[in-house]
Amino acid sequence: MTPDGDRTSVTLTSGREPDAALGAPRCSVIIPCRNEEKYIARCLDSIIANGHPKNRLEVLVVDGLSEDGTRDIVGTYTRRYPFIRLLDNTRKIIPAAMNVGLGQAKGDFIVKMDAHATYPADYIEKSVTYLLDYAADNVGGVWTIAPASNGTVARTIAHALAHSFASGNAPVKVGARGLRWTDTVAFGCYRRSVFERVGFWNEDLAGSSDLDFNRRLRAAGGRILLVPQITVNYYADGDLASFWRHNFADGVWATYVLKFRSRAFSWRHWAPLALVAAVITLTGVAVAVPAVRTFSVGIIGAYTVANLGASTHLALRHQRLGYLVIAPVVFAIRHAAHGLGALYGLLLLLVPGVHWKGRRTKSGEGKV
Protein backbone atom coordinates (compact mmCIF):
# COMPACT_ATOMS: atom_id res chain seq x y z
CA MET A 1 0.00 0.00 0.00
CA THR A 2 1.35 3.42 -0.95
CA PRO A 3 0.42 6.23 1.45
CA ASP A 4 -1.10 9.49 0.31
CA GLY A 5 1.48 12.23 -0.06
CA ASP A 6 4.50 10.08 0.82
CA ARG A 7 6.95 8.16 -1.36
CA THR A 8 7.64 5.59 1.35
CA SER A 9 5.36 2.57 1.22
CA VAL A 10 3.42 1.35 4.23
CA THR A 11 4.03 -2.38 4.50
CA LEU A 12 2.14 -4.90 6.58
CA THR A 13 4.44 -7.02 8.72
CA SER A 14 3.68 -10.30 10.43
CA GLY A 15 6.07 -9.63 13.29
CA ARG A 16 4.12 -9.21 16.52
CA GLU A 17 5.56 -8.93 19.98
CA PRO A 18 5.26 -12.03 22.20
CA ASP A 19 3.00 -10.35 24.75
CA ALA A 20 0.39 -9.55 22.10
CA ALA A 21 0.34 -13.20 20.96
CA LEU A 22 -0.37 -14.43 24.51
CA GLY A 23 -3.22 -12.06 25.16
CA ALA A 24 -4.20 -8.42 25.22
CA PRO A 25 -1.10 -6.21 25.57
CA ARG A 26 -0.60 -4.14 28.69
CA CYS A 27 -1.43 -0.51 27.93
CA SER A 28 -0.87 2.63 29.95
CA VAL A 29 -2.99 5.65 29.07
CA ILE A 30 -1.49 8.98 30.14
CA ILE A 31 -3.80 12.01 30.26
CA PRO A 32 -2.19 15.41 30.95
CA CYS A 33 -4.81 17.83 32.22
CA ARG A 34 -5.40 21.07 34.11
CA ASN A 35 -8.72 22.79 34.83
CA GLU A 36 -10.73 20.44 32.61
CA GLU A 37 -13.88 20.05 34.71
CA LYS A 38 -16.05 20.53 31.61
CA TYR A 39 -14.41 17.69 29.67
CA ILE A 40 -12.60 15.21 31.93
CA ALA A 41 -15.67 13.11 32.79
CA ARG A 42 -16.70 12.53 29.18
CA CYS A 43 -13.04 11.78 28.35
CA LEU A 44 -12.80 9.12 31.08
CA ASP A 45 -16.21 7.68 30.19
CA SER A 46 -15.05 7.17 26.61
CA ILE A 47 -11.89 5.40 27.80
CA ILE A 48 -13.86 3.16 30.16
CA ALA A 49 -16.12 2.26 27.22
CA ASN A 50 -13.09 1.07 25.23
CA GLY A 51 -13.05 -2.66 24.69
CA HIS A 52 -9.51 -3.20 25.94
CA PRO A 53 -9.53 -5.60 28.95
CA LYS A 54 -9.43 -3.52 32.10
CA ASN A 55 -7.03 -5.94 33.82
CA ARG A 56 -4.53 -5.07 31.07
CA LEU A 57 -5.13 -1.33 31.25
CA GLU A 58 -4.11 1.53 33.51
CA VAL A 59 -5.24 5.14 33.13
CA LEU A 60 -2.98 7.79 34.63
CA VAL A 61 -4.60 11.22 34.91
CA VAL A 62 -1.68 13.58 35.48
CA ASP A 63 -3.19 16.78 36.80
CA GLY A 64 -1.45 20.15 36.88
CA LEU A 65 -2.90 21.07 40.30
CA SER A 66 -6.27 22.09 38.86
CA GLU A 67 -8.08 24.94 40.56
CA ASP A 68 -11.58 23.99 39.39
CA GLY A 69 -13.49 20.76 40.04
CA THR A 70 -11.26 18.53 37.90
CA ARG A 71 -9.58 16.70 40.79
CA ASP A 72 -12.88 16.01 42.56
CA ILE A 73 -14.36 14.60 39.37
CA VAL A 74 -11.35 12.37 38.76
CA GLY A 75 -11.56 11.26 42.41
CA THR A 76 -15.03 9.84 41.82
CA TYR A 77 -13.57 7.70 39.03
CA THR A 78 -10.51 6.49 40.97
CA ARG A 79 -12.81 5.25 43.75
CA ARG A 80 -14.96 3.29 41.31
CA TYR A 81 -12.30 2.04 38.90
CA PRO A 82 -9.04 0.68 40.36
CA PHE A 83 -7.24 0.97 37.00
CA ILE A 84 -7.61 4.79 37.08
CA ARG A 85 -5.09 6.80 39.11
CA LEU A 86 -4.61 10.52 39.79
CA LEU A 87 -1.05 11.86 39.74
CA ASP A 88 0.24 15.37 40.43
CA ASN A 89 2.05 17.53 37.90
CA THR A 90 3.55 20.38 39.91
CA ARG A 91 5.04 22.04 36.81
CA LYS A 92 1.57 22.28 35.21
CA ILE A 93 2.76 21.76 31.62
CA ILE A 94 2.19 18.90 29.20
CA PRO A 95 5.77 17.55 28.83
CA ALA A 96 6.15 17.41 32.62
CA ALA A 97 2.83 15.56 32.85
CA MET A 98 3.98 13.03 30.28
CA ASN A 99 7.24 12.46 32.13
CA VAL A 100 5.42 11.97 35.45
CA GLY A 101 3.14 9.46 33.76
CA LEU A 102 6.00 7.63 32.06
CA GLY A 103 7.75 7.30 35.40
CA GLN A 104 4.69 5.50 36.81
CA ALA A 105 3.47 3.60 33.74
CA LYS A 106 3.68 -0.19 33.75
CA GLY A 107 2.37 -0.91 30.27
CA ASP A 108 4.24 -2.23 27.25
CA PHE A 109 2.44 0.42 25.17
CA ILE A 110 1.97 4.07 26.10
CA VAL A 111 -1.18 5.79 24.82
CA LYS A 112 -1.18 9.58 25.13
CA MET A 113 -4.66 11.04 25.39
CA ASP A 114 -5.96 14.57 25.82
CA ALA A 115 -8.54 15.49 28.45
CA HIS A 116 -10.17 17.85 25.95
CA ALA A 117 -11.28 14.95 23.75
CA THR A 118 -13.30 11.73 23.64
CA TYR A 119 -12.35 8.44 21.98
CA PRO A 120 -14.29 5.74 20.11
CA ALA A 121 -14.70 2.32 21.72
CA ASP A 122 -12.07 0.69 19.50
CA TYR A 123 -9.47 3.46 19.84
CA ILE A 124 -6.94 1.57 21.99
CA GLU A 125 -7.42 -1.71 20.13
CA LYS A 126 -6.91 -0.10 16.72
CA SER A 127 -3.90 1.91 17.87
CA VAL A 128 -2.06 -1.13 19.21
CA THR A 129 -3.08 -3.34 16.27
CA TYR A 130 -1.70 -0.92 13.66
CA LEU A 131 1.40 -0.34 15.77
CA LEU A 132 2.15 -4.08 15.73
CA ASP A 133 1.01 -4.93 12.21
CA TYR A 134 3.02 -2.18 10.53
CA ALA A 135 6.10 -2.23 12.76
CA ALA A 136 5.60 1.43 13.64
CA ASP A 137 6.97 3.23 16.68
CA ASN A 138 4.08 5.65 17.06
CA VAL A 139 0.56 5.33 15.67
CA GLY A 140 -2.25 7.85 15.77
CA GLY A 141 -5.16 9.17 13.83
CA VAL A 142 -6.95 12.35 12.95
CA TRP A 143 -9.11 14.82 14.79
CA THR A 144 -12.83 15.05 14.30
CA ILE A 145 -13.02 18.62 15.52
CA ALA A 146 -16.17 19.27 17.52
CA PRO A 147 -17.60 22.63 18.62
CA ALA A 148 -17.38 23.53 22.30
CA SER A 149 -21.04 24.58 22.21
CA ASN A 150 -23.98 24.80 19.82
CA GLY A 151 -23.42 28.48 19.06
CA THR A 152 -22.61 29.71 15.56
CA VAL A 153 -19.18 31.01 16.57
CA ALA A 154 -18.18 27.72 18.21
CA ARG A 155 -19.37 25.70 15.21
CA THR A 156 -17.57 28.01 12.79
CA ILE A 157 -14.28 27.70 14.71
CA ALA A 158 -14.52 23.91 14.74
CA HIS A 159 -15.30 23.61 11.03
CA ALA A 160 -12.74 26.24 10.05
CA LEU A 161 -9.95 24.34 11.83
CA ALA A 162 -10.73 21.30 9.69
CA HIS A 163 -10.36 23.40 6.52
CA SER A 164 -7.07 23.54 4.64
CA PHE A 165 -7.13 27.36 4.61
CA ALA A 166 -6.74 27.27 8.41
CA SER A 167 -4.59 24.16 8.84
CA GLY A 168 -2.66 23.82 5.59
CA ASN A 169 -1.63 20.28 4.76
CA ALA A 170 -1.81 18.96 8.36
CA PRO A 171 -3.52 15.56 7.92
CA VAL A 172 -4.22 15.41 11.66
CA LYS A 173 -6.77 18.20 11.18
CA VAL A 174 -7.82 18.14 7.54
CA GLY A 175 -7.79 14.35 7.20
CA ALA A 176 -6.02 11.86 4.94
CA ARG A 177 -7.17 9.43 2.26
CA GLY A 178 -5.12 6.48 3.44
CA LEU A 179 -2.34 5.21 5.67
CA ARG A 180 0.80 7.33 5.55
CA TRP A 181 4.11 7.73 7.28
CA THR A 182 4.11 11.24 8.67
CA ASP A 183 5.76 13.73 11.04
CA THR A 184 3.11 13.73 13.75
CA VAL A 185 -0.29 12.30 14.66
CA ALA A 186 -3.10 13.06 17.09
CA PHE A 187 -1.62 12.34 20.52
CA GLY A 188 -0.16 8.90 19.68
CA CYS A 189 0.32 5.31 20.83
CA TYR A 190 3.98 4.42 21.43
CA ARG A 191 6.00 1.31 22.05
CA ARG A 192 7.58 1.56 25.49
CA SER A 193 10.98 0.80 23.98
CA VAL A 194 10.80 4.15 22.14
CA PHE A 195 11.51 6.05 25.34
CA GLU A 196 14.63 4.00 26.02
CA ARG A 197 15.98 5.11 22.62
CA VAL A 198 14.73 8.69 22.40
CA GLY A 199 14.33 9.78 26.00
CA PHE A 200 11.35 11.55 27.55
CA TRP A 201 9.48 14.77 26.71
CA ASN A 202 11.48 18.01 26.72
CA GLU A 203 10.23 20.01 29.71
CA ASP A 204 11.70 23.24 28.35
CA LEU A 205 8.93 23.22 25.74
CA ALA A 206 5.58 24.02 27.30
CA GLY A 207 4.30 24.16 23.72
CA SER A 208 5.20 22.08 20.66
CA SER A 209 6.46 19.28 22.90
CA ASP A 210 4.72 16.55 20.89
CA LEU A 211 6.23 17.83 17.65
CA ASP A 212 9.63 17.96 19.31
CA PHE A 213 9.38 14.40 20.61
CA ASN A 214 8.18 13.03 17.29
CA ARG A 215 10.97 14.85 15.44
CA ARG A 216 13.52 13.27 17.78
CA LEU A 217 11.85 9.91 17.27
CA ARG A 218 12.16 10.17 13.50
CA ALA A 219 15.76 11.38 13.78
CA ALA A 220 16.50 8.19 15.74
CA GLY A 221 15.08 6.07 12.92
CA GLY A 222 11.58 5.73 14.33
CA ARG A 223 8.47 5.65 12.15
CA ILE A 224 5.15 7.42 12.77
CA LEU A 225 2.04 6.01 11.11
CA LEU A 226 -1.10 8.05 10.57
CA VAL A 227 -4.26 5.94 10.33
CA PRO A 228 -7.40 7.79 9.12
CA GLN A 229 -9.58 5.05 10.62
CA ILE A 230 -8.37 6.08 14.09
CA THR A 231 -10.32 9.18 15.09
CA VAL A 232 -10.38 11.50 18.09
CA ASN A 233 -13.32 13.74 18.90
CA TYR A 234 -11.51 16.95 19.89
CA TYR A 235 -13.32 20.03 21.26
CA ALA A 236 -12.16 23.34 19.79
CA ASP A 237 -12.23 26.75 21.45
CA GLY A 238 -15.75 28.07 21.85
CA ASP A 239 -15.27 31.84 21.54
CA LEU A 240 -13.11 34.26 19.57
CA ALA A 241 -11.11 35.53 22.56
CA SER A 242 -10.02 32.01 23.56
CA PHE A 243 -9.34 31.22 19.93
CA TRP A 244 -7.07 34.29 19.65
CA ARG A 245 -5.11 33.39 22.82
CA HIS A 246 -4.72 29.78 21.70
CA ASN A 247 -3.39 30.70 18.27
CA PHE A 248 -1.11 33.44 19.57
CA ALA A 249 0.49 30.99 22.03
CA ASP A 250 0.85 28.34 19.34
CA GLY A 251 2.48 30.96 17.13
CA VAL A 252 4.98 31.87 19.85
CA TRP A 253 6.03 28.24 20.15
CA ALA A 254 6.38 27.90 16.36
CA THR A 255 9.51 30.06 16.61
CA TYR A 256 10.43 30.18 20.29
CA VAL A 257 11.41 26.49 20.16
CA LEU A 258 14.64 27.72 18.54
CA LYS A 259 15.59 29.08 21.96
CA PHE A 260 15.95 25.48 23.08
CA ARG A 261 17.64 24.23 19.89
CA SER A 262 14.51 22.41 18.82
CA ARG A 263 13.14 22.23 15.27
CA ALA A 264 9.58 21.36 16.28
CA PHE A 265 7.90 23.07 13.34
CA SER A 266 7.19 22.75 9.64
CA TRP A 267 6.61 25.26 6.83
CA ARG A 268 2.88 25.50 7.58
CA HIS A 269 3.69 26.80 11.07
CA TRP A 270 5.72 29.67 9.61
CA ALA A 271 3.34 30.62 6.79
CA PRO A 272 1.26 33.01 8.96
CA LEU A 273 4.52 34.60 10.14
CA ALA A 274 5.51 35.27 6.53
CA LEU A 275 2.12 36.87 5.81
CA VAL A 276 2.11 39.09 8.92
CA ALA A 277 5.76 40.08 8.51
CA ALA A 278 5.20 41.01 4.85
CA VAL A 279 2.17 43.18 5.65
CA ILE A 280 3.88 44.94 8.56
CA THR A 281 7.13 45.51 6.65
CA LEU A 282 5.54 46.76 3.44
CA THR A 283 3.08 48.99 5.31
CA GLY A 284 5.94 50.51 7.28
CA VAL A 285 8.08 51.08 4.21
CA ALA A 286 5.10 52.55 2.35
CA VAL A 287 5.07 55.45 4.79
CA ALA A 288 8.42 56.62 3.39
CA VAL A 289 8.11 55.13 -0.09
CA PRO A 290 4.56 55.62 -1.42
CA ALA A 291 5.23 53.40 -4.43
CA VAL A 292 5.40 50.39 -2.09
CA ARG A 293 1.78 50.90 -1.07
CA THR A 294 0.70 48.99 -4.16
CA PHE A 295 2.47 45.85 -2.94
CA SER A 296 1.03 46.20 0.56
CA VAL A 297 -2.50 46.69 -0.74
CA GLY A 298 -1.97 43.83 -3.19
CA ILE A 299 -1.02 41.34 -0.46
CA ILE A 300 -3.91 42.40 1.76
CA GLY A 301 -6.28 42.25 -1.20
CA ALA A 302 -5.09 38.79 -2.27
CA TYR A 303 -5.48 37.50 1.29
CA THR A 304 -8.98 38.99 1.53
CA VAL A 305 -10.03 37.28 -1.69
CA ALA A 306 -8.59 33.95 -0.54
CA ASN A 307 -10.27 34.32 2.86
CA LEU A 308 -13.65 35.09 1.34
CA GLY A 309 -13.25 32.19 -1.09
CA ALA A 310 -12.44 29.76 1.72
CA SER A 311 -15.31 31.13 3.83
CA THR A 312 -17.73 30.65 0.95
CA HIS A 313 -16.49 27.11 0.45
CA LEU A 314 -16.96 26.42 4.17
CA ALA A 315 -20.49 27.84 4.13
CA LEU A 316 -21.43 25.73 1.09
CA ARG A 317 -19.82 22.58 2.51
CA HIS A 318 -21.83 22.81 5.73
CA GLN A 319 -24.85 24.58 4.22
CA ARG A 320 -24.79 27.37 6.80
CA LEU A 321 -25.25 30.90 5.49
CA GLY A 322 -24.06 32.38 8.80
CA TYR A 323 -20.55 31.11 8.13
CA LEU A 324 -20.20 33.76 5.41
CA VAL A 325 -20.15 36.36 8.21
CA ILE A 326 -18.21 34.54 10.95
CA ALA A 327 -15.72 32.44 8.97
CA PRO A 328 -13.72 35.38 7.55
CA VAL A 329 -13.17 36.62 11.11
CA VAL A 330 -12.21 33.15 12.34
CA PHE A 331 -9.73 32.60 9.50
CA ALA A 332 -8.26 36.08 10.01
CA ILE A 333 -7.79 35.45 13.74
CA ARG A 334 -6.21 32.09 13.02
CA HIS A 335 -3.59 33.61 10.73
CA ALA A 336 -3.05 37.00 12.38
CA ALA A 337 -2.79 35.68 15.95
CA HIS A 338 -0.50 32.84 14.93
CA GLY A 339 1.67 35.13 12.81
CA LEU A 340 1.97 37.80 15.50
CA GLY A 341 2.74 35.13 18.08
CA ALA A 342 5.50 33.70 15.88
CA LEU A 343 6.91 37.21 15.39
CA TYR A 344 6.86 37.75 19.15
CA GLY A 345 8.62 34.41 19.59
CA LEU A 346 11.38 35.59 17.25
CA LEU A 347 11.76 38.81 19.23
CA LEU A 348 12.04 36.81 22.46
CA LEU A 349 14.96 34.91 20.95
CA LEU A 350 16.95 38.13 21.10
CA VAL A 351 16.32 38.60 24.82
CA PRO A 352 18.60 36.71 27.24
CA GLY A 353 16.82 34.27 29.53
CA VAL A 354 13.52 32.42 29.26
CA HIS A 355 10.50 34.71 29.06
CA TRP A 356 7.69 32.46 27.80
CA LYS A 357 7.06 29.39 29.94
CA GLY A 358 3.46 28.42 29.35
CA ARG A 359 1.07 27.62 26.52
CA ARG A 360 -1.35 30.45 27.17
CA THR A 361 0.54 32.81 29.52
CA LYS A 362 4.10 33.86 30.22
CA SER A 363 3.83 32.77 33.86
CA GLY A 364 3.45 29.11 33.00
CA GLU A 365 0.02 29.01 34.69
CA GLY A 366 -1.80 28.46 31.41
CA LYS A 367 -3.97 25.45 30.74
CA VAL A 368 -2.14 22.23 29.99
CA distance 207 to 249: 8
Contacts (Cβ under 8 Å, ≥6 apart) of 196: none
pTM for the whole structure: 0.86
What does DSSP say about strands 27-33 and 109-112: parallel, antiparallel, or unpaired? parallel
Domain segments of the chain: what residues? 18-158+171-237
Angle between helices 94-104 and 209-219 (to 10 degrees): 60
Chain-centroid distance, C-alpha 303 = 26
The pairing of strands 224-235 and 138-146 is parallel
What is the CB neighbour count within 10 angstroms for residue 207?
A: 27
Could you give the dihedral angle defined by the CA atoms of residues 352, 353, 358 and 359, in that order, rounded to the nearest 10 degrees? 30
Q: What is the pLDDT along the chain (368 residues), one digit of tens a residue?
A: 444 444 344 554 444 443 444 578 999 999 999 999 999 999 999 999 999 999 999 999 999 999 999 999 999 999 999 999 999 999 999 999 999 999 999 999 999 999 999 999 999 999 999 999 999 999 999 988 999 888 999 999 999 999 999 988 777 887 778 899 988 888 999 999 999 999 999 998 888 889 899 999 999 999 999 999 999 999 999 999 999 999 999 999 999 988 988 877 777 788 899 999 999 998 888 788 887 888 888 999 999 999 999 999 999 999 999 899 999 999 999 999 999 999 999 999 998 887 777 665 433 333 33
Contact assessment for residue 101 and residue 187, using Cβ atoms and an 8 Å cutoff: no
- Helix then strand then coil, in percent of the chain rounded to 5, is 50, 15, 35
Q: What is the pLDDT of residue 16?
A: 47
pLDDT of residue 359: 62
Largest Cα separation within the chain, whole Å, is 75
Alpha-carbon distance 224 to 227, whole Å?
A: 10
Distances (CA, A) of 246 to 78, 216, 242: 31, 25, 6
pLDDT of res. 161: 94
Asked if residues 31 and 115 have their Cβ atoms less than 8 Å apart, the reply is: yes
CATH architecture of 18-158+171-237: Alpha-Beta Complex (3.90)
